[in-house]
Amino acid sequence: VILTVTPNPALDLTWRVARLTPGATHRVPTGSARAGGKGLNVARVLHGEGHGVLALAAIGGRAGAEFEAELEASGIPHRLMHVEAPTRRSVAVVDEQRGETSVLNELGSPLAVAEVRDLVDTAARLAREAHAVTVSGSLPPGLGEDDFERLMGDLVATGVPVVVDTSGPALLAAARAGAHALKPNLEELEATTGHSDPVEGANALLALGAALVIVSLGAEGLIVAGPHESPVHARLPRVLHGNATGAGDAAVAAIALELAQAGSDTASLSLAGLARRATAWSASAVLMPLAGELSAETGALADEVAVTPIEETP
Amino acid sequence: VILTVTPNPALDLTWRVARLTPGATHRVPTGSARAGGKGLNVARVLHGEGHGVLALAAIGGRAGAEFEAELEASGIPHRLMHVEAPTRRSVAVVDEQRGETSVLNELGSPLAVAEVRDLVDTAARLAREAHAVTVSGSLPPGLGEDDFERLMGDLVATGVPVVVDTSGPALLAAARAGAHALKPNLEELEATTGHSDPVEGANALLALGAALVIVSLGAEGLIVAGPHESPVHARLPRVLHGNATGAGDAAVAAIALELAQAGSDTASLSLAGLARRATAWSASAVLMPLAGELSAETGALADEVAVTPIEETP
């Protein structure tokens, strides 16, 4: 089982409109409501591919009730903790003609101190029975850097592989705690480490204590850097058009699966194999209209992915 | 008590953003959820002004539950009928810099035949105990022109004053049924009658059987036409800046109150008095950020309104 921790979940509301005209009134089909947040996308991908998963999040209010009902209906195994703060909503308006999405993310309300403690304790307890743990997305109000450091420390102390997809101080805390894999995108990496070169940024996080760093580069694929081998660059040799939302979450799902399957034998883990699977899953997600799903092309895409070692300038 | 019938209610969701940039991701404060639909605005205005009101609507699904909870919390007396179809949502994104609102109205799901019959029967039964009835807004899927004709016939047969704010075939049906007051805006009037002149359009509806026609003209105020006097034009001699959403509903609330207070003594009703109150309430609503509310300036605005008879060209 792979445990997916989503510190800052959201109820994702999506409406599709032929063309969004600011200031105008549009008639639209009924929108969709989905349990969201990056960790939920990771859980959906793994569940859809037939792997055992447990989605952990803290929810509250009416949006939380709708979150829970949707998750229940989707069949994804979950552990939801109920908190006072109403779950934030994330509104997406898809302009179908332009193929662009306007997003409104609610800031959310703070978790109480005791709720944060319960969430951290529950994550650590459930991690002990998992084969890998992912922690994805931003931190909610009320869950500070200190709390995140404790979460990282407790998760890494379980010995179970921990994959973290976040940015800023939380990403640095994950590296210092010795997380097994970090998955920033290039923009987040640069904002966090100051390095615009992905290998330099990845090396900075490795130096802090991370075991592996995967930097996603959008259509350019991703790089994987570890302490023992040259970093590798994996990419699909053609550009896919589709929905990039959730592509990074599919990569996290692939990374967690690779680490879970390697078990304690991390030396057997091939950077190239991990890079190939993460790139293929990420590309496959782009072909699907909704985040959290892979297309039937995943296997064929994995065969197409080109993996090349990166020569580091000394 | 004034009964407000809202055939096609909606859960109104509103988010405010400093500036809406299509295709971008925005961080926004928590949005609001309100029981909506034009008839609910009418009920809110009357309730806020201290008049007895009963809001009737048919709701369903999760959005319907949220609709009911908000109405409960607002203290507005209501009779909600529960139907299978989930209540549609109306999404408003307010761009605070431009002062413009982008709206997405869900089309909604059809009511069942028996549900429509129950709604029409309940409206007629409750109307018998009311001093006036308003019917506002569009028709939901499943409530056809035949059903609306029956609703109009049953309401008018109660002898209670009936005020109707709708457009198209439903507006014509209301006129033919002999509704006591119709309140289209100029655009709706032109689309329905083919007349771009408000007095000509109003006369067409009077000829069909309506007792009074009030045509709202936005910043130009409104005209009131009846069978026995020259029509009048009422307007505020200055332009107000604010939120025009719900201004027409405030006019409907004022019209219903005038008719309720006149009782069976409709001959005593002064077109000028009705025009003054409807214009003042409409202007007062423009000063408020949310539909369904009047400002503290209502009385002063009523004093400012200029009412002039319109000389009809023979």
Q: Which chain A residues are within 8 Å of B98, Cβ to Cβ?
A: 22-23
What average pLDDT does this structure show over B87-109? 93
What average pLDDT does this structure show over A158-171? 97
Distance from CA of A36 to the nearest CA of B (A): 15
Question: Smallest Cβ distance to A31: which of B33, B106, B109?
Answer: B106
Q: Which pLDDT score, from 0 to 100, does residue A74 have?
A: 95
Q: Which pLDDT score, from 0 to 100, does residue A228 have?
A: 85
**Rounded distance, CA A161 to CA A139, Å?**
21
Q: Which chain B residues are within 8 Å of A20, Cβ to Cβ?
A: 22, 102
> Would the pLDDT of A206 be above 90?
yes
Chain B CA closest to residue A25: B103
Residue recorded with tokens 């549900």: B115
CA dihedral A31, A32, A33, A39 (to 10 degrees): -130
Question: Smallest Cβ distance to B31: which of A31, A33, A106?
Answer: A106
Q: Which chain A residues are within 8 Å of B28, Cβ to Cβ?
A: 104-107
> Would the pLDDT of B17 be above 80?
yes
- Reduced to 3 DSSP states, what percent helix, strand and coil does chain A have, rounded to the nearest 5? 40, 25, 35
Q: Which chain B residues are within 8 Å of A22, Cβ to Cβ?
A: 20, 22, 95, 98, 100, 102
Question: Smallest Cβ distance to A100: which of B20, B22, B95?
Answer: B22
Residue recorded with tokens 């615009």: A196
Q: Do A93 and B88 touch (CB under 8 A)?
A: no
Please answer whether residues B307 and B232 qualify as being in contact, where contact means their C-beta atoms are separated by less than 8 angstroms.
yes
Q: Do A28 and B107 touch (CB under 8 A)?
A: yes
Chain B CA closest to residue A99: B23
Q: What is the pLDDT of residues A235-265, one digit of tens each?
A: 999 999 888 889 999 999 999 999 999 976 7
Q: Which pLDDT score, from 0 to 100, does residue B260 have?
A: 96
What average pLDDT does this structure show over A45-74? 96
Please give the mean pLDDT across all residues of chain B: 95
Q: Do B62 and A28 touch (CB under 8 A)?
A: no
What average pLDDT does this structure show over B224-231? 92
**Rounded distance, CA B161 to CA A47, Å?**
60
Q: Do A23 and B108 touch (CB under 8 A)?
A: no
Residue B281 vs residue B99, higher pLDDT:
B281
If interface means Cβ-Cβ distance under 8 Å, which residues of chain B face chain A? 15, 17, 20-31, 33, 62, 66, 69, 86, 88-89, 91, 93, 95, 98, 100-109
Distance from CA of A102 to the nearest CA of B (A): 4
Distance from CA of B77 to the nearest CA of A (A): 22
Query: What are the distances in angstroms from CA A139 to CA A143, A158, A179, A222, B40?
Result: 6, 22, 17, 24, 38
Q: Do A102 and B21 touch (CB under 8 A)?
A: yes
Q: Do A31 and B66 touch (CB under 8 A)?
A: no
Task: Name the active-site residue from B121, B147, B249, B303.
Answer: B249
What average pLDDT does this structure show over B196-213? 97
Distance from CA of B99 to the nearest CA of A (A): 9
Using left for φ > 0, alpha for ψ between -120 and 50, and beta otherwise, residue B231 falls in beta
> Would the pLDDT of A225 be above 60?
yes
pLDDT bucket at A314, cuts 50 / 70 / 90: low
Q: Which pLDDT score, from 0 to 100, does residue B312 have?
A: 65
What average pLDDT does this structure show over A134-152? 96
Give the closest residue to A245 by CA, choosing from A105, A134, A34, A92: A92
Instruction: Check if A249 is active-site.
Output: yes
Q: Which pLDDT score, from 0 to 100, does residue A263 have?
A: 78
Percent of chain A, pLDDT > 70? 98
pLDDT bucket at B190, cuts 50 / 70 / 90: very high
Q: Do B28 and A107 touch (CB under 8 A)?
A: yes
Q: What token pair was written down for B249? A: 């509903």
Q: Do B107 and A30 touch (CB under 8 A)?
A: yes
Complex confidence, ipTM: 0.84
Q: Which chain B residues are within 8 Å of A108, Cβ to Cβ?
A: 30
Q: Which pLDDT score, from 0 to 100, does residue B1 have?
A: 97
Q: What is the pLDDT of residues B120-143, one digit of tens each?
A: 999 999 999 999 999 999 999 999
> Would the pLDDT of B197 be above 60?
yes
Q: Which pLDDT score, from 0 to 100, does residue A153 have?
A: 98
> Would the pLDDT of A282 be above 80?
yes
**Rounded distance, CA A85 to CA B12, Å?**
21
Query: What are the distances in angstroms from CA B204 to CA B164, B195, B220?
Result: 16, 8, 21
> Would the pLDDT of A310 be above 60?
yes
What's the whole-model pTM score? 0.86
pLDDT bucket at B99, cuts 50 / 70 / 90: confident
Q: Which pLDDT score, from 0 to 100, does residue A211 have?
A: 95
Burial of B149 (0-12, 13-18, 19+ CB in 10 A): middle
Test the B interface: residue of A8, A14, A17, A30 with most B CBs within 10 Å: A30
What's B100's DSSP letter? E
Please answer whether residues B44 and B78 qualify as being in contact, where contact means their C-beta atoms are separated by less than 8 angstroms.
no
If interface means Cβ-Cβ distance under 8 Å, which residues of chain A face chain B? 15, 17, 20-31, 33, 62, 66, 69, 86, 88-89, 91, 93, 95, 98, 100-109
Give the closest residue to B291 by CA, choosing from B90, B25, B116: B90
SS3 A84: coil
**Rounded distance, CA A189 to CA A194, Å?**
7
Sign of CA dihedral B228, B229, B230, B234: negative
Q: Which pLDDT score, from 0 to 100, does residue B242 have?
A: 83
Q: Which chain A residues are within 8 Å of B69, Cβ to Cβ?
A: 62
Q: Which chain A residues are within 8 Å of B15, Cβ to Cβ?
A: 91, 104, 106
Q: Which pLDDT score, from 0 to 100, does residue B256 have?
A: 98
Q: List b or e across B88-118, with b for residues whose CB sees 16 or more CB atoms inside 10 angstroms.
A: bbbbbbbbeeeeebbbbbbebbbbeeebbee
Give the closest residue to B172 by CA, choosing from B224, B207, B134: B207
pLDDT bucket at A99, cuts 50 / 70 / 90: confident
Residue A55 pairs in a beta bridge with A4, A78
Q: Which pLDDT score, from 0 to 100, does residue B245 have?
A: 84
Query: What are the distances in angstroms from CA B5 to CA A164, B104, B106, B157, B277?
Result: 53, 23, 20, 16, 22
**Rounded distance, CA B42 to CA A84, Å?**
34
Please answer whether residues B20 and B104 qualify as being in contact, where contact means their C-beta atoms are separated by less than 8 angstroms.
no
**Rounded distance, CA A134 to CA A212, Å?**
14
Test the A interface: residue of B104, B139, B187, B243 with most A CBs within 10 Å: B104
Q: Which pLDDT score, from 0 to 100, does residue A312 have?
A: 65
Q: Which pLDDT score, from 0 to 100, does residue A264 have?
A: 65
> Would the pLDDT of B6 be above 90?
yes
Q: Which pLDDT score, from 0 to 100, does residue B314 have?
A: 53
> Would the pLDDT of B264 be above 80?
no
Among the ranges given (A50-59, A249-258, B34-43, B239-248), the one the predictor scored with the smallest mean pLDDT = B239-248
- How many beta-carbon pairs below 8 A join chains A and B? 100
Q: Which chain B residues are within 8 Å of A25, Cβ to Cβ?
A: 103, 105
